[in-house]
Each structure stands twice: as C-alpha cells, then as structure tokens.
Amino acid sequence: MLRVGEPAGVGVQVQDAVPELVVVPVHLSLKMVFMLFSSGFGGMFLFQAIGVWVSLLSPRQIAFNATMGNKLSFAANATMFANMAVAFGLMGALPAVGLAAVMAYWWIAPAVLLASAVFYLATLHAGAAVLETRCEAMLCMIERGY
C-alpha cells in the first residue's frame, strides 16, 4: 500500500515546478533551469521521504470529529519547522553568496536529486517493512482518539 499510494503525492507536487519558469524576472540559462528542476525535485523527494518516516515512527492519535487545531505530532511539527528554517535560511544566504558562485557549482544540484531519489526509493522499500510490523499498533493508537 505504501509503495502504491505515496508516489501519488509526488506526482501532484511535480505540477508546481513548471509555473516557476514563467514568473522568473531574469534571463534563464539552461544550467539555471536544470538546477531549478534538480533542486526542486531533489527537495521534493527528500521531504517526502522524511515525511514518510515521521508518519511511520511518530503517529499521533486524533479525534475524528475535530475540525480545528494542530493535529500533527511533535516530531511532525519539529520536522516542518526545521524544513522551513532550512528553506528560509537558504533563501537568505544565496543572495549574499551571489549568482556566479552558485552557478559555478551547478553540478551539486543533480547529485542532490540523485541522492534524494535513492533515499526516497529506499524509504518506500524499508518503510513498507516498518508499516507491516507496526500496522496494528499504529491503527489501535490512532483509533483511540483523545
């Protein structure tokens, strides 16, 4: 089930990468487009894999009639805040570094994409085994609610 359902979320996120090319106010070279897609898809695979592990290892029981409030576990909240801190930190640091310095190391983006894709595929494989062993315990804990 995990190997079938999880890639559907990845497919939805792929649609978000293309509009970025339309609204960019600078002249784009082929390296820039390659880096944009490599870093975008690399981040998507990395954060999807981290999200799968957080969901498997730190589920939280929820009340099914609750409509408002934070329904994430502590680990999910910590992961989300860490991801946002990294994203905003990089956005603040990259202008200080300069475009020329970033473009000099364009080959890092495809390496990150490859490493993230391998991590994501390994997560789907290993996560399926974890889900099989913890399935009943997770369902019982989640169904209890508050």
Lowest-pLDDT range, 4-8, 74-78, 98-102? 4-8
- Give the angle 42-46-47 at the CA atoms, nearest 5°: 120
CA 58 to chain centre: 17
Q: Tell me which residue of 46, 45, 56 sits closest to 126, measured CA to CA.
A: 56
Question: d(Cα 80, Cα 74) in Å, to the nearest integer?
Answer: 10
> 62 — alpha (psi -120 to 50), left (phi > 0) or beta?
beta
**Phi, psi (rounded to 5 degrees) for 23:** -95, 0
* pTM across the whole model: 0.72
List pLDDT tens digits, range 77-130: 898 899 889 888 888 888 888 888 888 988 999 999 999 999 999 999 998 888
pLDDT of 140 reads 76
Q: Quick check: 132 pLDDT over 70?
A: yes
CA R_g for the chain? 18
Average pLDDT over residues 12-24: 59
